[in-house]
């Protein structure tokens, strides 16, 4: 038990917690209705799951996307549209980039420590949900 606690990358988990805490704070400041949180939480869990997925499965899905010229063209058009959205909503893009970077860093640290996919996914989900809740609570009390 003690060796597992020593292997956990505490610094990067703290960074991810603070990142999600900031996200919770930003979303809470926008005064979204309580029913919107029923959509935000599953989106965050899907995001964490996508980043914690083993690379072999991502490679399999990317091979399916680029099998034909029509699919490749659609992906190129989608990429151009996403670039337009990135430029027009730069602040939102930076927040998303920060979340992605923190999650990838935690995933790499967990992988280097020898944890399995399910353990990485569980830790990231717990950190994401706790961070969102902490951000909302901090905004409510300050």
pLDDT of residue 55: 63
Q: For 41-54, what is each residue's pLDDT tens digit?
A: 888 888 888 777 76
Domain parsing of the chain, residue ranges: 9-141
* Residue positions counted in the chain: 142
Q: What's the pLDDT at 94?
A: 81
Please spell the DSSP secondary structure of 48-102, one letter per residue: HHHHHS-HHHHHHHHHHHTSSHHHHHHHHHHHHHHHHHHHHTHHHHHHHHHHHHH
């Amino acid at each position: 038990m003690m060796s597992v606690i020593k292997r956990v990358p505490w610094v990067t988990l703290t960074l991810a917690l603070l990142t999600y805490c900031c996200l919770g704070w930003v979303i809470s400041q926008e005064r979204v209705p309580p029913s919107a949180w029923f959509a935000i939480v599953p989106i965050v869990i899907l995001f964490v799951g996508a980043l914690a997925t083993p690379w072999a499965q991502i490679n399999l899905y990317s091979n399916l996307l680029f099998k034909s010229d029509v699919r490749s063209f659609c992906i190129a058009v989608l990429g151009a549209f996403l670039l337009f959205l990135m430029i027009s909503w730069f602040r939102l893009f930076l927040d998303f980039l920060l979340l992605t970077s923190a999650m990838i860093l935690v995933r790499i640290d967990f992988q280097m420590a020898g944890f399995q996919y399910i353990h990485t996914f569980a830790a990231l989900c717990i950190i994401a949900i706790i961070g969102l809740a902490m951000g909302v609570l901090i905004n409510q009390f300050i």
